[in-house]
Amino acid sequence: MQQRPVIGIPTQNLKSIDRIPEDLPDSWVMNQRYFLACVSVGAIPWMVPLLDEDPDTLRGIYDRLDGLFIAGGVDVDPSSYGEERHELCGRVDLPRDRVELAMVRWAIEDGKPVFGVCRGMQVINVAAGGTLVQDCSLWTDAIKHDYFPGAGWDRDYLAHDIRVAETSRLASAFGEAGGMVNSMHHQGILRLGEGLVATAWAPDGLVEAVEAAREDQWMVGVQWHPEMLIDTHPGTKRLFEDFIEAANQYHNASALV
């Protein structure tokens, strides 16, 4: 029987989310769609608490994981990439930033598989030393990227097409022709992090996907939300399956050490 890899999914602080009553107790939460998507391709998802002030416990959790899934959410704080906060930057969650950046950096060092979506792609980029544009309106000739559900858009609304790089992991799953994706973000990559390559772009040139330059590291970040498309788009399901297979291989290789 094939091993079911354990995939860690860091949580977020409930009070970092907009329109949450302040009198609720401090809580760690995360959208269940990410967990269900991982389960659907054979993984065991694991909620990771934001123990940013307990690095020993956090590292102990990390060491028991076969892969990392970095989900969407609020903005990455600009202090995480050495910039001043722009007035268009939104809500942030510093403990989440610290936990996700630490885990991604450990994974880069160890070669552990990482899949990041939306904010998750941006976290990968910042962990690798890159920077972000704090609002897509600041991007030259920007198209609309912020099709947020709160403004009346469905989460699976296909907002724009992407151009995919040949010979990339994304092209292996999606095909080199690219396709249409949903879009629920207002920030994006400005300067690409070290050891990353861009593998997809929006019509305005904004990076829509990144991958590790190393062939022996499965690390993919996408700017859209594939967890909403896994049931209807074969290429998306193949991408998730590829991630889980990489996590399986990592587990098996680690067991031999």
pLDDT tens for residues 118-168? 999 999 999 999 999 999 999 989 999 999 998 899 999 999 999 999 999
Q: What percent of the chain has pLDDT over 70?
A: 99
- Residues identified as active-site: 118, 225, 227
Average pLDDT, the chain: 95
Rg (alpha carbons) of the chain, rounded to whole number: 17
Q: How confident is the model at residue 254 (pLDDT cuts 50, 70, 90)?
A: confident
Structural domain boundaries in the chain:
6-255
Question: Given this model, what pLDDT does residue 178 score?
Answer: 82
Mean pLDDT of 188-201: 98
Check the CA dihedral 169-170-173-176 and report its sign. negative
pTM tops 0.85, yes or no:
yes
Residue 230 burial (10 A CB sphere; 0-12, 13-18, 19+): buried
> Residues 4-46: pLDDT tens digits?
999 999 999 999 988 888 889 999 999 999 999 999 999 999 9
Q: Which of 174, 187, 189 is nearest to 90 (CA)?
A: 187
The architecture CATH gives domain 6-255? 3-Layer(aba) Sandwich (3.40)
